Amino acid sequence: MAEAPLTLAVPRGALFGETLDILDAAGVDTSELRGDSRSLIFETSGMTLVTMRPSDVPTYVESGAADVGITGKDVLLEQGDRVVYELLDLGFGRCRMVLAAQTGDDRLGEAQRRLGMMRIATKYPRIAEEYFESTGRQVELIEVKGSVELAPLVGLGDGIVDLVATGRTLEENELEVREEILECTARFVANRVAHKLRAAEIDELTAKLREASSR
Amino acid sequence: MIHPIPPGTRDVLPDEMRELRRLKAALIEVFEDRGYGEVATPSIEYDETMARADGPDRSSYRFFDEAGELLTLRSDMTVPIARLVATRFAKAEPPFRFSYLAGGYRAVRPQRGQMREFVQAGVELIGASAEEGTVEVIEVLEAALDAAGLGRAVIGLGDADLYRQLLEEMGVEEESRDAILSSLATHDLVALEQGLLAAGIGAEQAQTCVQLTQLRGGREVLEQARGLGGAAVERAATQLSETYEELERRGAADRVQIDLGLLRELGYYSGAIIEVYDPAVGHVLGGGGRYDGLMKQFGLDFSAAGFALYLDRVHTAQMEEARRG
């Protein structure tokens, strides 16, 4: 099928650098993306690379605006109802989803014991909800968009559910990990229709990425 | 003064309505030409009737009427037509061929571009032999796609029982199977592999299962599948190959893609399953397959097959294809 080139959604932000590295290793030229160009779309090695926020990747891939994409498992879980095929664990961008609270402070435990209910601030309400439900605890979830570390420090909630990589941000804000919820890595995803109709191209790219990620 | 409508519903204005009417007329003509008479059934059914399909469907709208009866807004036409055949044609000589152009209703998550009310065009063939039934339904589907101007559309052909049987063969415990099948249905290969490993399946066998889901294409994928081994794979490959050969004999296999990774969300399918794609649209246009088990739920020992196309998506694809010229 003489189609337009395969479109790949590239996440900007924390996963950006390693995404470019693995694409290079898989034979996709990413030099143009490494410059300080403000473009969002790049034509390279017979592919179209589109850059976006990681949390937008499932949206673009589900609708078919991008055929394939790379994003974090945290994003895929939080948008679990989006229909995208998850083809590969790329292994990089490893971080943990945790329940954290103020260091040495027992407000979280006290809320649980005395009120039978914790107030939790998070950017990941669905993951948090599922976690507390599956562990049989009742919580009041408060969704925030920005730095969630701020919330318990000023009394918005007893604890937070957030993603940590090194744990330094938590430490600097005098927060500590109380429970680990799950581990997240970058995933390679595909649009359902593209996966069927552009099988050869997608299989080839998947194989190259698999090889690059296991190196 | 703005008067909003519920999300997931929409108005249709005259220009679009004219195009939709032409599309509907073209589809119904194909169906009627092939002996599939159009039927209509009520939008509301007793919940008990719709629930025969697969237990209570959590995404359907249910409510009590003034007499306290639990009613359901139909979520598709396959179940109402099965009900109709069981009630009115139980003693008649099969096969029965019916077509429909009808609205269905499903609860959806908001802001996803999904519709709570949608129109489907489709056919049901009830009481023909299994093999012939599948082939005939695919031929009607191809004619319908042609009539809609979707010359590039592709029909995926898979087997609904493959993975349930494969997991049984691999010795996966009953309680782990549903979770594994659900990662298969959403095509989450990472979770699939993790699930298999957690269920005590060896790494090599788990890899085989993952590879199997990636086999899609022409006849060659059946050989590749057989190479991966196992009785369940052998059975599915044999059945798919028989269907595919019959399609080839009738010159209807060109746009059929054999797909061992296909698994439809609807629980009532058994045997052959189909899905429809068009390169111009990122969403599946429709699907179907065999549902002998559903007929049994209505007390009939018939083989049955059918498909449904989402009219709006077919229309979108039609516009995109026309734009390409």
Residue-wise pLDDT tens digits, A147-158: 899 998 898 989
Q: Which amino acid is at B151?
A: G
Q: Confidence band (pLDDT; 50, 70, 90) for B197?
A: very high
Of A62, A87, A196, the CB nearest to B259: A196
Please give the pLDDT value at position A155.
87
pLDDT value of residue A23: 96
- Give the pLDDT mean for B17-28: 97
B184 to chain A: nearest residue by CA? A85
Percent of chain A with pLDDT over 90: 77
Buried b (16+ CB within 10 A) or exposed e, A18-38: bbbebbeebebebeebeeeee
Model pLDDT for residues A20-70, shown as the tens digit of each residue? 999 999 999 999 999 888 889 999 888 999 999 999 999 999 999 999 999
Residues of chain A with Cβ-Cβ distance to B216 below 8 Å are 196, 199
Q: If pLDDT is split at 50, 70 and 90, which confidence band does B266 have?
A: low
- C-alpha distance from B191 to closest chain A C-alpha (Å): 9
| Structure token pair of residue A124 | 């990941």
The DSSP secondary-structure symbol of B223 reads H
Give the dihedral of Cα atoms A21, A24, A29, A35; nearest 10 deg: 20
On whether any CB of chain A is under 8 Å from the CB of B108, the answer is: no
C-alpha dist (Å) from residue A108 to A24, A162, B83, B114, B145: 45, 15, 55, 39, 59
Q: What is the pLDDT at residue A115? A: 78
Q: Which residue has the higher pLDDT, A178 or A112?
A: A178
Handedness of CA B37, B42, B43, B45 (dihedral sign): negative
Q: Residue A123's pLDDT band (boundaries 50, 70, 90)? A: very high
Supply B237's token pair.
Answer: 């490959």
Residues of chain B with pLDDT > 90: what percent?
Answer: 74
Tokens at A144, concatenated:
């925030």
Whole-number pLDDT of residue B22: 97
Range among B176-180, B214-218, B321-325 rated most confident: B214-218
Q: Answer yes or no: is pLDDT of B166 > 80.
A: yes
Percent of residues, chain A, with pLDDT higher than 70 = 99
Sheet harboring A159-164: ordered strands across?
A139-143, A118-122, A159-164, A95-102, A175-184
Domains defined for chain A, CATH in brackets: 6-93+185-213 (3.40.190.10), 95-183 (3.40.190.10)
* pLDDT of res. B263: 85
For residues A207 and B36, give the distance between their C-alpha atoms in angstroms, rounded to a whole number. Answer: 45
Name the residue type at position A41.
I
Domain ranges of chain B: 1-155+282-325, 161-263
One-letter amino acid identity for B112? R
Among chain A residues, the shortest Cα distance to B280 is held by A64
Q: Which CATH class is domain B1-155+282-325?
A: alpha beta
- Res. B55 pLDDT band, cuts 50 70 90: low
Alpha carbon distance A23, A177 (integer Å): 33
Residue B68 pLDDT grade (very low, low, confident, very high; cuts 50, 70, 90) = very high
Q: CA dist B264 to B10, B187, B294, B304, Å? A: 27, 11, 15, 16
Beta-sheet pairing, A118-122 with A139-143: parallel
Q: Quote the pLDDT of residue A1.
A: 42
Find the Cα–Cα–Cα–Cα dihedral B143, B144, B149, B151, rounded to 10°: -50
Predicted confidence (pLDDT) per residue in B74-114, tens digit: 999 999 999 999 999 988 999 999 999 999 999 877 666 67
pLDDT bucket at B173, cuts 50 / 70 / 90: confident
pLDDT, position A43: 92
Does B110 lie at the interface with A, CB-CB under 8 angstroms?
no
Q: Is the pLDDT of residue B232 over 80?
A: yes
pLDDT in tens, B267-306: 788 889 999 999 988 889 999 999 988 899 999 998 999 9
**Mean pLDDT score, B230-239:** 93
Residues 87 through 106 of chain A touching chain B, CB cutoff 8 Å: 87-89
CA distance A38 to chain B (A): 27
Average predicted confidence (pLDDT) for chain A: 92
CA separation for the pair A8, A5 (Å, rounded) = 9
Shortest Cα distance, chain A CAs vs residue B285, angstroms: 10
The mean pLDDT value of chain B amounts to 92
Residue that wins the pLDDT comparison between A45 and B122: B122
Q: In whole angstroms, give the CA distance from residue B284 to residue B118.
A: 14
Using left for φ > 0, alpha for ψ between -120 and 50, and beta otherwise, residue A13 falls in left
Q: Are B101 and B27 in contact (CB under 8 A)?
A: yes
Put simply, the chain A residues between 15 and 74 with a CB less than 8 A from any chain B CB are 62-65, 73
Which of these, B162, B174, B132, B313, lies nearest to B237 by C-alpha position?
Answer: B162
Report how far Cα A191 is from the mean position of its chain's Cα atoms: 17
B218: closest CA of chain A, how far (Å): 11
Chain B residue with minimum CA distance to A196 = B216
Mutate which of B106, B108, B112 to disrupt the A interface (most A C-beta within 10 Å)?
A: B112
Residue B230's pLDDT is 87
pLDDT at residue A112, rounded to an integer = 79
- ipTM confidence score: 0.86
B324 touching A (Cβ < 8 Å): no
Q: Could you write out the DSSP letters of every residue in A71-96?
A: EEHHHHHHTTTS--EEEEE---S-EE
Q: Which of the four pLDDT bands, split at 50, 70 and 90, describes residue A193?
A: very high
Distance CA B257, CA B219 (A): 9
The number of beta carbons lying within 10 Å of the beta carbon of residue B165 is 16
Burial label, A177 (beta-carbon count in 10 A; 0-12, 13-18, 19+): middle
Task: Report CA-CA distances (Å) from B160 to A66, B43, B51, B196.
Answer: 29, 28, 20, 19
Q: Of the ranges A89-98, A184-193, B50-59, B222-231, which one carries the lowest mean pLDDT score?
A: B50-59
Is the omega angle on the peptide bond into residue B14 within 30 degrees of 0, that is, cis?
no
Could you give the count of Cα atoms lying within 13 Å of A192 in the half-sphere of its Cβ? 25
